[in-house]
């Protein structure tokens, strides 16, 4: 079995490279594609594994390939490689597993990719939801996987032809130590034959091949640049358009990328950097956008390489998806960047939980008690096709058929929400104060009425609790013991919490009498209470010196999650600034359940979070204006409207040039000698005004009113610039319209012997615009400056 791609660098904002990077301004306009639209440029490509099999499907590999750790034993909670459960309703053939029944009582079955109907179903979905091209994953085919993968290629080809989709071969060199010779043999003797299909993807008239894994720093890819570059050039010589599936940090050669591979990366026709498990939140996606993707895009554009970045829905098992907000943000970032195409990872990757193919919607269609998250894991109902619908919208936005928008166009649920089975506790996470032997807390939320939780003996009270996944208005509790047990009474207090930390009493201590004559079941109506965590505190048991629960069922008053957002935070103010940080404070919000935290936003990007009403945004640039708002969130993930906007400028560091990189203006310039040259940091570029037309001026906008007491003026230091004297005045203005004098007009000599520069100091003054007016020049009939530096003192 191939090594999972997710086992890479997972640190994001804490990683040394990203933490040290600086934020880059957004691209003003989309980049131009190196290639015209084809089957990958201008299209959405999905990574397709097609690697699941089951006993009885006739696959040469045999067994439960990729469903089980031990593929010769049926998948079960203790023998599994998957973290998500597929929606099985559209498969005509399925295979029974050793998982518990689904929450609705149906048998837990899975599909086989080796069945043509399965592949046809997947490609039909691609057609229906606008997935243009499938990248068929192909690992080392020389082992026992080879015959099955060969057959899967033909099945994918047939489905692509049937549903008018495109496909191409995506080689993964993980653990393929003999790839340099093997990959050429595999292409010439097997895979190249499929390029004759009308469905095989072409770009620039060439058949597409992707090679994934060159340059990654993991031991499973111990390759040096030479063999990798040779293979790329070999495929190019075969007339192929070659895509590189490269490390996230390919351009810098750090973190997940080996150094010395830049020539290898630049040899590809297109680059697709890997992103799975690099980011887990929207905030981290934005950080990668600013610190990695923009630079990647510029590097590719400069070399005529197509940029086809990886986008991902997020790990469902890890709780990253945020009911589609994470996926849409990733798509939006890459489209606004100007990417030439999108590569979605992945289509059918139920192993890593980042699949977009149809997935179980609720615990009613997920194996009970198996701790597998359904799409409603954060309390928001999502239809099984939700991530396919998002993908379709992303493709339309990529092609300009949908306006660029950070707000996902499609709702999580279309039509009536699916039945949840009513029981909010089924399969949810549990904990307890103690347990006796193997009688774990999770036994009380599985589908087996005979399994149970039992606390340690004696020493009452004991407690058991369940996390419902989101805040719900609960009003009913059903508790069960195994049907064959004798009668007993347990004294139980019902408590609730929205954050898992502070609990309040929902129903005070009372006797719960379990009687085998009534199935050892006790049902209690509760005061309607909004809660996410339900805790049962058990003070005594007449039948055994321990707390005991076989099943706990929790039901909602309305069957829906909390959808009421907190009130808008007010009074956002600045409480402090430094050169690299801004401290903010605001008035608290209120909520029907409870505010759990706040998000400070710079535009749409979250730059700080916290549970209190203060926050400090760090990592900012000195002498720069920033605007912030703050929003409040509750336990169900509802977000308030944004507060008032506050704009603040960070402090200037000691001896910092306030003019560097700031906007400029001028009275005139000749040829390419524009005013921006005086603040670009290049001592050899310069501003030159129109000739024989004194007075002339050049000015810089500091962005906000600043204390200014010194300017440094320079001409290029080259000896070709002979000594000259310019008659000039230094002026300042708060509004760019009315200027006052800071330094009176006088002749100022620029001498190559002293670096062609001079310093003018003056009484410190508050000013935003600094203007240099030139009325004469002994060396040339124009105003000339290569550098204008402005300092506080």
pLDDT at 103: 84
Residue 8 in this model has a pLDDT that exceeds 60: no
For residue 620, give the DSSP letter.
P
Q: Per residue in 84-113, pLDDT tens?
A: 999 998 998 999 999 999 887 889 999 999
3-state helix, strand, coil in the chain (%, to 5): 20, 30, 50
pLDDT at res. 637: 61
CB–CB of 443/464 below 8 Å? no
Does 744 score more than 80 pLDDT? Answer: yes
d(CA 705, CA 488): 78
- Quote the strand ranges of 419-480, DSSP E: 429-432, 453-454, 462-480
Q: What is the DSSP letter of 775?
A: E
Give SS3 for 627: strand
Contact by Cβ (8 Å): 152, 65: no
pLDDT at 32 over 80: no
Give the side-chain half-sphere CA count within 13 A for 98. 14
Q: Are strands 614-617 and 605-610 parallel, antiparallel or unpaired?
A: unpaired
Q: What is the pLDDT of residues 770-793, one digit of tens each?
A: 999 999 999 999 999 999 999 988
Mean pLDDT of 742-754: 94
Cα–Cα distance, 787 to 793 (Å, whole number) = 18
pLDDT band at 28 (very low <50, low <70, confident <90, very high): very low
Place of tokens 């079941």: 521
- Backbone CA torsion sign across 438, 444, 447, 452: positive
33 pLDDT tier (thresholds 50, 70, 90): low
With contact defined as beta carbons under 8 Å apart, do 766 and 705 qualify?
Answer: yes
Comparing 337 with 518, the larger pLDDT belongs to 337
Instruction: Take residue 633 and report the two structure tokens written for it.
Output: 């969130």
Query: Is the pLDDT assigned to residue 82 strictly greater than 90?
Result: yes
Q: What digits encode the pLDDT tens for the residues 390-439?
A: 999 999 999 999 999 999 998 898 766 665 556 888 877 889 999 998 89
Does pLDDT of 556 surpass 80? no
Measure the CA angle with vertex 331, ends 330 and 334; round to 5°.
85
Instruction: Give start and end residues of each alpha helix (H) in 176-312.
Output: 179-189, 225-237, 262-266, 282-288, 294-303
Phi, psi of 117 (to 5 degrees): -60, -35
pLDDT tens readout for residues 598-655 = 889 887 667 887 788 999 988 788 778 888 999 988 766 677 888 999 988 887 776 7
How high is the pLDDT of residue 18?
A: 44
Assign 335 to helix, strand or coil: helix
CB of 632 within 8 A of CB of 567? yes
Peptide bond into 346 cis (omega under 30): yes
What is the pLDDT, as a whole number, of residue 482? 94
pTM of the model: 0.58
What pLDDT is stored for residue 468 in this prediction?
84
The pairing of beta strand 241-246 with beta strand 270-273: parallel
Q: How confident is the model at residue 23 (pLDDT cuts 50, 70, 90)?
A: very low
Residue 703: left if φ>0, alpha if ψ -120 to 50, beta else—which one?
Answer: left
In the predicted model, what is the mean pLDDT of residues 283-302?
Answer: 95
Residue 331's H or E segment, with its range, is helix 325-337
């Amino acid at each position: 079995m191939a090594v999972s791609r997710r086992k890479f660098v997972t640190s994001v904002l804490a990683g040394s490279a990203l933490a040290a990077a600086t934020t880059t301004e957004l691209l003003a306009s989309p980049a131009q594609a190196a290639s015209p639209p084809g089957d990958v440029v201008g299209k959405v490509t999905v990574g397709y594994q097609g690697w699941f099999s089951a006993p009885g499907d006739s696959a040469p590999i045999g067994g439960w390939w990729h469903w089980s750790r031990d593929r010769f034993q049926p998948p079960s909670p203790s023998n599994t490689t998957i973290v998500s459960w597929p929606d099985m309703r559209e498969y005509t053939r399925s295979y029974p597993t050793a998982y518990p029944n689904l929450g609705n009582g149906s048998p837990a079955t899975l599909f086989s990719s080796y069945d043509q109907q399965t592949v046809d179903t997947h490609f039909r979905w691609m057609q229906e939801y606008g997935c243009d091209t499938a990248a068929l994953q192909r690992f080392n085919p020389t082992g026992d996987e080879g015959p099955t993968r060969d057959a899967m290629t033909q099945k994918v080809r047939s489905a692509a032809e049937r549903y008018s989709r495109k496909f191409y071969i995506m080689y993964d060199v993980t653990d393929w130590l003999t790839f340099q010779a093997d990959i050429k043999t595999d292409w010439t003797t097997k895979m190249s034959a499929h390029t004759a299909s009308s469905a095989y993807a072409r770009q620039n008239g060439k058949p597409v091949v992707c090679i994934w894994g060159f340059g990654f720093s993991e031991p499973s890819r111990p390759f040096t640049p030479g063999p990798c570059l040779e293979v790329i050039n070999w495929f190019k010589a075969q007339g192929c358009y070659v895509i590189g599936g490269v490390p996230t940090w390919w351009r810098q050669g750090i973190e997940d990328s080996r150094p010395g591979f830049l020539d290898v990366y630049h040899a590809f026709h297109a680059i697709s950097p890997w992103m799975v498990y690099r980011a887990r939140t929207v905030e981290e996606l934005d950080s990668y956008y600013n610190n990695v993707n923009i630079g990647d895009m510029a590097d590719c554009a400069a070399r005529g390489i197509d940029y086809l970045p990886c986008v991902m829905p997020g790990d469902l098992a890890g709780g990253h998806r945020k009911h589609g907000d994470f996926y849409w943000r990733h798509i939006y970032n890459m489209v606004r960047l100007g990417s030439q195409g999108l590569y979605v990872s992945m289509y059918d990757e139920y192993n890593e939980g980042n699949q977009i193919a149809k997935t179980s919607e609720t615990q009613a269609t997920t194996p009970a008690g198996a701790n597998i998250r359904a799409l409603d894991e954060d309390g928001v109902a999502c239809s099984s096709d939700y991530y396919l619908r998002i993908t379709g919208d992303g493709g339309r936005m990529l092609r300009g058929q949908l306006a660029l928008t950070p707000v996902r166009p499609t709702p999580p649920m279309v039509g009536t929400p699916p039945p949840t089975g009513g029981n909010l506790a089924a399969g949810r996470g549990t904990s307890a104060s103690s347990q006796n032997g193997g009688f774990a807390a999770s036994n009380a939320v599985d589908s087996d009425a005979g399994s149970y939780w039992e606390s340690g003996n004696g020493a009452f009270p004991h407690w058991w609790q369940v996390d419902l996944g989101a805040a719900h208005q609960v009003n009913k509790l059903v508790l069960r013991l195994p049907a064959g047990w004798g009668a007993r009474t347990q004294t139980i207090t019902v408590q609730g919490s929205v954050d898992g930390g502070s609990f309040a009493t929902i129903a005070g201590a009372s006797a719960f009498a379990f009687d085998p004559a009534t199935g050892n079941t006790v049902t209690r109506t509760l005061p309607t209470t909004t809660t996410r965590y339900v805790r049962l505190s058990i003070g005594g048991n007449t039948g055994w010196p321990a707390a005991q629960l076989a099943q706990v069922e929790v039901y909602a008053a309305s069957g829906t999650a909390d959808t009421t957002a907190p009130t808008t935070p007010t009074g956002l103010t600045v409480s402090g600034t430094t050169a690299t940080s801004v401290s903010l404070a605001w008035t608290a919000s209120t909520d029907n359940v409870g505010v759990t935290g706040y998000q400070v936003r710079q535009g749409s990007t979250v730059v700080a979070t916290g549970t209190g009403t203060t926050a400090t945004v760090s990592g900012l640039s000195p002498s720069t204006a920033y605007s912030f708002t703050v929003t409040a969130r509750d336990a169900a993930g509802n977000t308030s409207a944004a507060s008032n906007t506050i704009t603040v400028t960070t402090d200037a560091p000691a001896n910092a040039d306030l003019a560097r990189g700031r906007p400029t203006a001028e009275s005139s310039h000749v040829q390419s000698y524009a005013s921006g040259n005086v603040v670009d940091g290049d001592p050899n570029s310069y501003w030159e005004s129109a000739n024989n037309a004194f007075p002339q001026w050049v000015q810089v906008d500091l962005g906000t009113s600043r204390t200014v007491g010194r300017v440094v003026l320079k001409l290029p230091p080259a000896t070709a610039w002979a000594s000259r004297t310019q008659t000039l005045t230094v002026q300042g203005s708060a509004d760019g319209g009315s200027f006052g004098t800071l330094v009176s007009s006088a002749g100022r000599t620029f001498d190559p012997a002293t670096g062609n520069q001079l310093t003018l100091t003056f009484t410190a003054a508050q000013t935003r615009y600094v203007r240099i007016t030139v009325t004469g020049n002994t060396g040339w009939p124009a105003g000339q400056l290569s550098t204008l530096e402005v300092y506080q003192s």
